[in-house]
């Protein structure tokens, strides 16, 4: 009887399992295929693949009033915000042990959300620094105050930064870069199109308004606004254009301190660097000597009241979002509405989380990955990285334009690329960072000072090649040429509404393999990255004839993207965006070959009515799903080395033969490019 009962039980259990499996399969079959549901099938893929792939999603996801753009990255960020809000709110209501990460998270979040205290305090937390500026008696004292502001995170006048020496990646060096502008870059001070002229006009109004909020009368505020504009225009005139900043050799000038003194007559750099807490340096790397020559001249010739107005402005500008509502709102009016077209502020809790991320993002990251990035997911993407690297290796070996000696060096560099996936093995120690409930702006200042000293402390010490420069919850990735590494944070692999285990390889190889992994790998071999060797040093490893052919191919992609008009008469800057465009194209063709080795591709079965190759290209387009306001787009064209999202899809795909085959692209369609014009690099 016992055996019979067990047998009956097994039959019943088997029946239940079959029924459950059938139900699960039925539910899965009834669930709309994600990438199919996003398509706008009224658009021919060969005319506008970006719109074809994402059109339905764009219609269902209008840009919120509080945003300048909306994208899949924003959707991922929203999910992350919800998780980090829960962590931060819990910490703010819990009395953590003094000095613990929980106490710091809770106190930081509390002060950011405590608007009553912020209004009561007014500008009192800034008074010591404002008084320091008012007390300046002569131009000779200006560098001392600038040094103090730099430590607090105010980017006034100069741009000191600690990075690996581009020509000796085993050493950290102090770089001096052009800086000190309130508008995004030099072009905003000189371009004469109506859009930019209006921005300059509104910027003048914004400056005056911020000065009145500091307590100045209208006439004085207007006069100080003109002073700032005049001084910043002089700095802008000495600044290089966006595309000119991408040449690593042209922006590398290692100088002894005595040489920098001669470049900027009248400035004692040993003393000034000491005031910035950079002691006993014998040399620095100056990015743009002409800018620093101008700094030296302006410190001698510009009247003291101009400098005081300039320093007051940059101080209040740096901390406007942590000050009372009047400052915060005016800052948003100009930088949010005029510059980006947003009509509402983002929720305060999101903005406080952004500051918390800047202050101690790895503290949040450690808690984030423990709950939201499984070992199985990490393993999947580590394997994918290896597969994409293998495909890139095959591409290099098969190149018909590169000679064997250069191929050998390229393969050596590829094989030495360090791959960081998900999150760091060792987390930063924030024990020395003081966070309390005294004032929001003071917490931000102390965090800025902690980071300033953290980076400065690297000078004279071995390079930490295990460090991450992005947190795991960041929807982004990067290639670091000095470390010869790709860094892929956990969040970059997330797809809203689709669990990782439910995503087929075609989507993942397009979404993560092409637009992220292959993209970042290719950065090691784009027009900038290709100038660094396998050890991460700025050094030419190319045979002359290979370098000539490579530059010719780069010029082809520059010409292609120069031809795209995106807004009124604004065109993509092909030279400034060349590196990203090369990486987009390289990522697509390399990850496609990696995908061709998967079981899904080799079976060739359709899913959601789409072939594996079609799904791959749709997966790639998914990574750039999004749209933006005209104001934000105009700003991107002038300030960003990335092309607009639609052209990051349509541009490179127009050069890929498999795309033509997958979607039957014909000569009469808009994306069609004759074979002779299609760019092929990697």
Question: CA 545, 548, 553, 555: dihedral to nearest 10 degrees?
Answer: -170
Q: How far apart are CA 578 and CA 522, in angstroms?
A: 12
Which of 389, 663, 368, 674 minimizes the C-alpha distance to 513?
389
Domain chopping of the chain, boundaries: 136-319, 373-428+467-677
- Tokens standing for 422? 């998900």
pLDDT, one tens digit per residue, over 310-339 is 999 999 999 999 999 999 999 999 999 999
Q: 373-428+467-677 maps to which CATH number?
A: 3.40.390.10
pTM of the prediction? 0.92
Q: How far apart are CA 620 and CA 629, in angstroms?
A: 23
Question: Percent of the chain beyond pLDDT 90?
Answer: 92
Question: Can you give the three-state secondary structure of 159-195, one letter per residue?
Answer: EEEEEEECCEEEEEEEEEEECCCCCCCCHHHHCCCHH
pLDDT at 8: 37
Q: Answer yes or no: are the C-beta atoms of 70 and 63 closer than 8 Å.
A: yes
Question: Residues 6 or more apart from 595 whose CB is under 8 A from it?
Answer: 505, 506, 509, 510, 513, 601, 612, 616
Among all chains, which residue has been given the structure tokens 């061709």? 596
pLDDT, one tens digit per residue, over 60-106 is 999 999 999 999 999 999 999 999 999 999 999 988 899 999 999 99
Residues of the chain with pLDDT below 70 are 1-32
E runs forming strands in 481-630? 485-489, 565-567, 570-571, 626-628
Question: CA 122, 126, 128, 131: dihedral to nearest 10 degrees?
Answer: -90
Largest CA distance in the chain: 105
Q: Answer yes or no: are the C-beta atoms of 455 and 174 closer than 8 Å.
A: no
pLDDT at 429: 95
Chain center to CA of 462:
26
pLDDT, one tens digit per residue, over 199-214 is 999 999 999 999 999 9
Among all chains, which residue has been given the structure tokens 């050799």? 249
- Superfamily of domain 136-319 in the CATH hierarchy: Neutral endopeptidase , domain2 (1.10.1380.10)
> What residue spans of 302-431 are helical by DSSP H?
304-318, 325-332, 348-372, 375-398, 404-416
Same-fold call for 136-319 versus 373-428+467-677: no
Among all chains, which residue has been given the structure tokens 């003081």? 434
Q: How far apart are CA 210 and CA 189, in angstroms?
A: 20
Cα 675-681-682 angle, rounded to 5 deg: 120
Q: How far apart are CA 362 and CA 472, in angstroms?
A: 8
Q: How far apart are CA 328 and CA 322, in angstroms?
A: 7
Q: Answer yes or no: are the C-beta atoms of 615 and 607 closer than 8 Å.
A: yes
Q: How far apart are CA 337 and CA 344, in angstroms?
A: 8
User: 254: how many CB neighbours lie within 10 A of its CB?
Assistant: 15
Which value, in Å, is the radius of gyration of the alpha carbons in the chain? Answer: 27
Strand pairing report for 283-286 and 168-178: parallel
């Amino acid at each position: 009887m016992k055996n019979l009962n067990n047998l009956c039980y097994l039959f019943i259990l088997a029946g239940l399992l079959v029924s459950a499996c059938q139900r699960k399969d039925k539910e899965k079959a009834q669930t709309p295929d994600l990438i199919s549901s996003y398509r706008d099938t009224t658009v021919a893929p060969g005319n506008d693949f970006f719109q074809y792939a994402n059109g339905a999603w764009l219609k269902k996801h209008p840009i919120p009033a509080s945003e300048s753009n909306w994208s899949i990255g924003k959707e991922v960020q929203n999910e992350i915000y919800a998780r980090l809000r829960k962590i931060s709110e819990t910490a703010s209501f819990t009395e953590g042990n003094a000095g613990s990460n929980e106490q710091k998270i809770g106190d930081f979040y509390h002060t950011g959300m405590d608007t009553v205290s912020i209004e009561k305090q007014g500008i009192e937390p800034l008074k010591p620094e404002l008084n320091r500026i008012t007390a300046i008696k002569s131009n000779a004292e200006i560098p001392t105050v600038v040094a103090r502001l730099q430590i607090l995170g105010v980017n006034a006048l100069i741009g000191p930064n600690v990075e690996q020496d581009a020509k000796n990646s085993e050493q950290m060096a102090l770089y001096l870069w052009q800086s000190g502008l309130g508008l995004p870059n030099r072009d905003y001070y000189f371009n004469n199109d109506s859009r930019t002229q209006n921005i300059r006009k509104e910027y003048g109004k914004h400056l005056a308004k911020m000065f009145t909020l500091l307590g100045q009368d209208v006439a004085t505020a207007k006069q100080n606004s003109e002073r700032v504009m005049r001084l910043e225009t002089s700095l802008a005139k000495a600044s290089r254009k966006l595309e000119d900043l991408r040449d690593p050799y042209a922006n590398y000038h290692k100088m002894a301190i005595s040489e920098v003194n001669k470049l900027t007559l009248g400035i004692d750099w040993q003393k000034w660097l000491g005031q910035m807490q950079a002691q006993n340096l014998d040399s620095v790397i100056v990015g743009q000597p002409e800018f620093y020559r101008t700094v030296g001249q302006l410190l001698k010739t510009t009247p003291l009241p101009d400098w005081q107005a300039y320093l007051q402005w940059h101080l209040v500008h740096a901390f406007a979002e942590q000050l009372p509502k009047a400052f915060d709102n005016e800052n948003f009016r100009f930088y949010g509405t005029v510059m980006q077209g947003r009509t509402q502020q983002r929720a305060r809790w999101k903005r406080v989380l952004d500051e918390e991320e800047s202050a101690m993002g790895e503290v949040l990251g450690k808690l984030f990955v423990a709950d939201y990035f499984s070992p199985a997911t990490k393993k999947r993407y580590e394997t994918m990285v290896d597969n994409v690297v293998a495909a890139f290796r095959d591409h290099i070996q098969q190149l018909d334009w590169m000679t064997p000696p250069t191929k050998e060096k390229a393969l050596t560099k590829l094989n030495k690329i360090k791959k960081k996936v998900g999150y760091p093995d060792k987390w930063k120690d924030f024990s020395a960072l003081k966070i309390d409930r005294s004032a929001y702006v003071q917490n931000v200042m102390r965090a800025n000072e902690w980071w300033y000293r953290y980076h400065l402390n690297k000078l004279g010490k071995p390079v930490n090649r295990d460090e991450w420069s992005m947190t795991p919850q960041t929807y982004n990735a990067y290639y670091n040429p000095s470390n010869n590494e790709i860094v892929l944070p956990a969040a970059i692999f997330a797809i809203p509404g689709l669990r990782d285990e439910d995503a087929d390889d075609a989507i993942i190889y397009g979404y993560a393999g092409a637009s992220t992994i292959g993209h970042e790998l290719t950065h090691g071999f784009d027009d900038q990255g290709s100038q660094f060797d396998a050890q991460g040093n700025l050094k030419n490893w190319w045979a002359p004839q290979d370098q000539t052919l490579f530059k010719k191919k780069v010029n082809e992609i520059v010409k292609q993207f120069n031809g795209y008009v995106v807004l009124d008469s604004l065109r993509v800057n092909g030279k400034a965006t060349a590196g990203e465009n090369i990486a987009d194209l390289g990522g697509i063709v390399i990850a496609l070959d990696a995908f061709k080795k998967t079981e899904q591709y080799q079976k060739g079965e359709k899913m959601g009515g789409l072939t594996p190759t079609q799904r791959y290209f749709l997966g790639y387009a998914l990574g750039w799903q999004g749209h933006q306001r005209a104001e934000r787009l105009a700003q991107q064209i002038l300030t960003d080395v990335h092309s607009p999202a639609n052209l990051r899809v349509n541009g490179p795909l127009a050069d890929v033969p498999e795309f033509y085959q997958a979607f039957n692209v014909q000569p009469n369609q808009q994306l069609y490019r004759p074979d002779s014009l299609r760019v092929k690099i990697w």
